[in-house]
Structure 1
Amino acid sequence: MTIIAPAPLRLLTCRGACPAAARFPEHHDRLLSVDTDIDAMLALVELAVTWHELDYSESPVVGPAEWLRFADNHDWTYPDRAERVFSLAVDIVGRRAVGLPPEAAGPSLASVVDLVRG
């Protein structure tokens, strides 16, 4: 009886042509399933949310700068879903990079309402 091991997703979809597949094979394969696997989708969103909070420099992950190109360069079971999740993840990282909106220089709206009522 011959047992055949399944080929990794990167070999089936990228044929070695994807830079992310070569550098981060496990994360690459995980990203390939964001359109069909809710856990993979949530993992990508969690990575985006924590990108500026945690140090990923030593982690074998595809970074946000590559996510949109990654999404464009792969075939998806649900292309619209893949585009949405990668776009959302990039947006989350981008919002954090820009920073939180500055606080107003004057009194808050609650303070103004209290003054008017008082």
Structure 2
Amino acid sequence: MTTVAHAPIQVMTCRGECPAAARYPDHHELLLAVDRDPEALLALLELAVTWHELDYTDEAVIGPAGWLDFAATHDWVFPDRAERAFSLAVDIVGRRIAGTGAAADVASSLATVIELVRS
């Protein structure tokens, strides 16, 4: 009997328009999995929760300001999950800055990411 080894399925979701792929390759790959990997989803939510508490200056991560562009330039295996993940992460960060007048910008951006992920 012959055993055939199949190569792992590679999900291609980056259209080459994402500057984060070159700048933050590990975090880019992690974020690409938020719609299919619970660990990636938890990592995104932990980053959102701690964004205003910890100093990420020296970390190779895509910050909240880049999440909307990230969502817009990628395709998702499960678009509804991706929409919920990025929407929740943006909302978490936005709630922390609600008293500074930036909440309206975050709310507007949240609507944008939902629309982009659905399309």
Task: Output the TM-score relative to the length of structure 2.
Answer: 0.70
- The 8 Å contact of residues 16 and 22 in structure 1, kept in 2 or not, is answered as no
Partner SS for 2:56: coil
Higher relative contact order (CA 8 A, sep 6+): 2
> Structure 2 stretches of 5 or more lacking a match?
1-6, 100-119
Q: Provide the C-alpha distance between the structure 2 equivalents of 1:36 and 1:49, rounded to a whole number of angstroms.
A: 20
Residue equivalent to 2:71: 71
Partner SS for 2:48: helix
Q: Provide the C-alpha distance between the structure 2 equivalents of 1:13 and 1:21, rounded to a whole number of angstroms.
A: 11
Residue equivalent to 1:92: 92
Rg larger for: 1
How many residue pairs get matched?
92
For 1:69, the aligned partner's letter is D
Percent identity, please: 70
Q: Provide the C-alpha distance between the structure 2 equivalents of 1:25 and 1:15, rounded to a whole number of angstroms.
A: 14
Residue equivalent to 1:17: 17
- The 8 Å contact of residues 48 and 89 in structure 2, kept in 1 or not, is answered as yes
> Structure 1 stretches of 5 or more lacking a match?
100-118
Partner SS for 2:97: helix
Q: Provide the C-alpha distance between the structure 2 equivalents of 1:81 and 1:17, rounded to a whole number of angstroms.
A: 22
Q: Map 1:29-68 onto structure 2 (within 5 A).
A: 29-68=29-68
